[in-house]
């Protein structure tokens, strides 16, 4: 459902994405919901502060969807934020080198 919420948010269907976010929150009482499900929806909605909170929880919870974090193109808007570097370091990954700083 996180992927769907991401797509809805990116498509500008904010009301639908927020409704789905509410449904995902409601499911947490019934079953495990990966923290990335929440993060992806918030990213689609450009709610980056909330997304980083969920990404941090995803790392703490060993959420499997975090493993390819460096290859997800939809995370590009977050990459310049120092919090993204902090998430990578928390996962024992080094950030990609900045090509503008090549010597």
Q: Give tens-digit pLDDT for 13-67.
A: 999 999 999 999 999 989 999 999 999 999 999 999 999 999 999 999 999 999 9
Full DSSP string of 60-96: HTT-GGGTTTTT-GGGGGGTTSHHHHHHHHHTT-PPP
Q: 72-102 pLDDT, tens per residue?
A: 999 999 999 999 999 999 999 976 666 665 5
- Residue 93 near residue 69, CB atoms below 8 Å: yes
Query: Looking only at Cα atoms, what is the longest distance across the chain?
Result: 53
Where do we find the tokens 């370091």? 89
């Amino acid at each position: 459902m996180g992927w769907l919420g991401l797509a809805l948010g990116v498509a500008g269907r904010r009301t639908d994405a927020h409704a789905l976010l509410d449904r995902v929150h409601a499911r947490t009482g019934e079953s495990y919901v990966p923290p990335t499900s929440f993060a992806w929806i918030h990213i689609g909605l450009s709610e980056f502060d909330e997304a980083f909170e969920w990404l941090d929880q995803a790392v703490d919870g060993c959420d499997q969807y975090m493993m390819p974090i460096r290859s997800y193109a939809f995370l590009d808007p977050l990459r310049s934020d120092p919090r993204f570097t902090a998430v990578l370091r928390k996962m024992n990954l080094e950030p990609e080198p900045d090509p503008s700083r090549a010597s």
